[in-house]
Structure 1
Amino acid sequence: MKKVIVILGVIFGVIMSLNSCTKESEGSVVFWYGQETSEELADYNISTLKFYLAGELVGSTSADVYWYSKPDCGSNASITATINLGKYETQAYDYEVKDQYGNILWEGTINVNADECQALELQI
């Protein structure tokens, strides 16, 4: 009887340790826009942009900050959000970009992939 209890205990321990070994994944999104978009924003007296992913504020910037090409995730002055995807390889997230008055300028859904940097260009 003691052998059975010990064997069952070992089996239970192995099963529990295997279940706790699930890998957590992360993915990133970098928001960006070019000079033309920045100039259009200035024409409408938009000075500040706030970036939301899944309803959470992930950053803000002056509307006159722009890029000539897609920045890398985490680049200086970029708006980058890194997301814990848990056990999933891909998840869809809603995003919004608002001006200083709270008006939604851009909104949509982006797929965030594990171990990748998704660049989202905002255009007018």
Structure 2
Amino acid sequence: MNRIYIVLVVVLALASCKQEGCRDMDAVNFDPAVDEDDGSCLFEGKVVFWYDEDVTFPLLADGAEVLTFYVDDAVIGTHIASEFWESAPGCGEEGSLSMTKYLGDEPYATCLYEVIDQDGFIRWTGEFGFSKGECVSFELEE
């Protein structure tokens, strides 16, 4: 009789336990089996830089040949100045200048960017925001 009682108590205890974890579908550690969010969500954000044909001609006329893209002082890629996009490419699309940033437990982050040509001339500089689970399309304009 004691064994039945112990088994019953253990089964009831396990059945009543709520599983905690991350319930935010934009998080990299989202768990659909979790009953209760415990604040442990971790996020990533993505950005893709691009420019169109209207920007290309002034770049070339000014002697730009190769552009190096930086985010928070880290190189994310280089691009031939004469190559442009008709419309915004997707994050991670072949030939795109995109990156993924780990945001930790923050859903948003602001970063600095620079685009510098082969002669060290800064063509663009500024800041933009990463958002959890999103691809931010960042068009560089003249």
TM-score (norm 2): 0.71
Q: Offset of 1:23 from its aligned partner?
A: 2.0
Q: Secondary structure at the match of 1:46?
A: coil
Structure 1 unaligned residues grouped into runs of 5+? 1-16
- Of 131, 135, 142, the match for 1:113: 131
- Aligned structure 1 segments of 4 or more residues deviating by more than 6 angstroms: none
Matches within 5 A, 1:1-124: 22-124=40-142
Query: What is the one-letter code of the residue matched to 2:125?
Result: E
Q: Secondary structure at the match of 2:59?
A: helix
Whole-angstrom CA distance in 2 between matches of 1:45 and 1:99: 9
Query: What is the one-letter code of the residue matched to 1:41?
Result: L
Whole-angstrom CA distance in 2 between matches of 1:110 and 1:86: 18
Larger RCO (alpha carbons 8 Å, 6+ apart): 1
Whole-angstrom CA distance in 2 between matches of 1:117 and 1:35: 22
Structure 2 unaligned residues grouped into runs of 5+? 1-19, 22-37
Whole-angstrom CA distance in 2 between matches of 1:86 and 1:102: 33
Whole-angstrom CA distance in 1 between matches of 2:69 and 2:40: 31
Query: What is the one-letter code of the residue matched to 2:74?
Result: E
Q: Offset of 1:123 from its aligned partner?
A: 1.0
Aligned residues: 107
Q: Secondary structure at the match of 1:73?
A: coil
Q: Offset of 1:21 from its aligned partner?
A: 7.1
Structure with greater helix share of residues: 1
Whole-angstrom CA distance in 2 between matches of 1:102 and 1:24: 36
Q: Secondary structure at the match of 2:103?
A: strand
Query: What is the one-letter code of the residue matched to 2:56?
Result: S
Once the two structures are aligned, what percentage of the paired residues are identical? 33
Q: Offset of 1:24 from its aligned partner?
A: 1.6
Whole-angstrom CA distance in 1 between matches of 2:119 and 2:41: 41
TM-score (norm 1): 0.81
Q: Secondary structure at the match of 2:54?
A: helix
